[in-house]
Amino acid sequence: MSQNLRPFHLAIPVNNIEINRTFYRDVLGCKEGRSSDHWVDFDFFGHQLVIHLKEEKNESVSNPVDGKEVPIPHFGVVLDMQTFETFAEDLKKKGIQFIIEPYIRFKGEVGEQATMFFKDPSGNALEFKAFRNLDQLFAK
């Protein structure tokens, strides 16, 4: 894995600033940064996520992966395995409705990883994953 990884910046549309502010801050635990009445910055696991007010929402589609429907588009982060497991349990306790429940892909193989998908209140799909061995993040 490259040692030159840097935090990314991602801006996403939301249809209600306050509902999504609460979701990212209180449900996902992201620290809030600067904001206005039309956007809010968050520390999204070390990356900058900005939610922008946009009342209309495009329909999402999905692709089949492992017999599950993976939403397109989606975004998220790679966590370490312990953080993933703790975070998944916390989300379950908070009543998150998963698109794809937390599970292990490629068990015992190169690239073994945990993954889960769910949506924010505006319908943006999020994926969180963790690799058993982070050095296999970009393995072929």
Q: Mean pLDDT per 10-residue run, the chain (140 residues)? A: 72 94 97 94 96 78 86 91 97 97 92 95 96 83
Residue 2's pLDDT is what?
47
Closest CA to 42 of 2, 68, 12, 81: 12
Cα distance from N-terminal residue to C-terminal residue, the chain: 12
pTM score: 0.88
Parse the chain into domains and list their residue ranges.
Answer: 9-54+61-136
The third-level CATH classification (topology) of the domain covering 9-54+61-136 is: 2,3-Dihydroxybiphenyl 1,2-Dioxygenase; domain 1 (3.10.180)
